[in-house]
Chain A
Amino acid sequence: MSLMFEQLLNGLQFGMMLFLMASGLTLVVGIMNFINLAHGTLYMAGAFLAVAFHALTGSYLLALGLAIAATALLGLVIELLVAQPLYQRDHLDQVLCTFGIILFLNELARVIWGSAPLRMDVPPWLDGSVDLAGIGYPVYRLAIIAVSAAVAIGLHLVITRTRLGMLIRAGAADRTMVVGLGVNIQLLYALVFAVGAGLAALSGILAAPIFTVQTGMGDHILILTLVVIVIGGIGSVHGALAAALLVGVIDTVGRVSLPTGFGNVLIYVLMASILFWRPRGLFPSHG
């Protein structure tokens, strides 16, 4: 019984990490209709920059803040130089171009930091375990759940209670109408792109102490992130949260309770069946 509880907690925590990635990407894809494969690379950039800033400043929180800001800035640059000229082009052009960014930034990271993986330790004040119903659970993983939950609540408030959120929802539902109403759509796009980059960076930084910091680290998580936003409904942050938790829990529990190999395909079966019944995902945002 306690094992099942522990596995659910593992799934919840993994799902929350996926949510941080998915929330940014689903906005970029949903509002700008822009397929950004380089989202995983921004996750990698966040982790690498955090390691660098941590070495420089010695403070985990300072490194966290600086790395998020720097990655958001990088996102802004990518938006200006690469994304903007491509908004009107078809998806294949966007996929090719952002795939090029993946290759370029992966190799750039290798040139700067080398090909050997880097280390990011759990900050000492989060290093330890707490007793939860008889099992020792790492504090750091609980902290990830807490931070992600705070981000989810924050995003929820912004999207449902503010003017910016209203524009974001309107942009996801009907882009042309928002432009027609005289909203500075370019500013909105740039802002959403930067916030998405910042969220990807946060996810990468939180992941750094448990995952490997190395070139290409964003590629695997990107695939899961795409699964999440498709299940959740493109453009919907609420959908991303629901889908991320679903994928996290089903993946974790499936892996341990089904024979080898079956557990790994479970989330794809889930995706296929949800798309069969609800082709626009769980929480479609387009009208």
Chain B
Amino acid sequence: MKLQKSTLLALCSVLEFAAQPGRQFSTAEIAGKYAASPHHLAKVLGKLRRAGLVKAARGSGGGYRFSGNAKRVTLLDVIALFETVGSRAPRASRRDLERAVDQVLAEIDETARATFGSITLETMLKLARRPKAAPGRGP
């Protein structure tokens, strides 16, 4: 499973904001942390703002802060702003093998959608705070 660069940047940004909901972050701070261009990040944050997940404040002390509900917003809510996960339209193909391949791909897509849709930002933050498992051992 691979997400586009913008999607990953959006997820990391929104999680940074949600981790400290009262705090205002500058674009430069997030861009520096995730090695993103300020221009690219500004576009990503614009989409998050239009979706109501972040609020922007102008001026010298300006920046962005979280304005969503971390208990309700899921990873899928954020990802869906940037790309489509699953629900691919079946190809109008008459070949049995292509149909079979499409069926397996759809199965993978549905699992991905369910996974992203079941993880809220709050759960994700808990996951990030969990101590790392020792090498060679499961979580």
A binds B: no
Interface residues of B (CB under 8 A from A): none
